[in-house]
Amino acid sequence: MSNIIEIDLDNPGHLFDPPFVDSLFRDVHHNAWTITFIPEDSVSRREKELVTIAENSMDGQRISLRMRRVSKLMGFKVDRIVHSGGGNFSLLSSTGQAQDLADPKGSGELSMNIFQELADISMTAQLAFVTQNAISAQS
């Protein structure tokens, strides 16, 4: 089964609909994922939002699983992801390895598989953000 990704040909710079990851890294000192993401308009009118998710939470475990998949696809342990503009993301390790998804040596299938993992991480981050803000509003 293949997934179809529609690209607006009238707006070629628009490759994704929110939410999507702007940056993601594992905060080893706090055992948490820190994610900056572009939210859906229905969630926030701000350009970017920030959420911190404990690794031992259900959401944190889901992100850890997705990051293990990304690492397996890349062939090295990915510790940080940074949106580099358009459809490009830089994947970085703590040992200095780095690769851009837009690298001409990379395959389209690899990029699409990583985009699927990032889409899940993005939605997980947005849902965690909504939940955390709902809890804060009740306090």
The answer to whether the beta carbons of residues 83 and 22 sit under 8 Å apart is: yes
Among 74, 47, 79, 76, residue whose Cα is nearest residue 63: 79
Alpha-carbon gap, residue 102 to 89, rounded angstroms: 7
Q: What is the pLDDT of residues 28-77, one digit of tens each?
A: 999 999 999 999 999 999 999 999 999 999 999 999 999 999 999 999 99
Counting residues of the chain whose pLDDT is more than 90, the rounded percentage is 70
Alpha-carbon gap, residue 98 to 103, rounded angstroms: 11
Residue 139 confidence (pLDDT): 59
Q: What is the pTM of this model?
A: 0.84
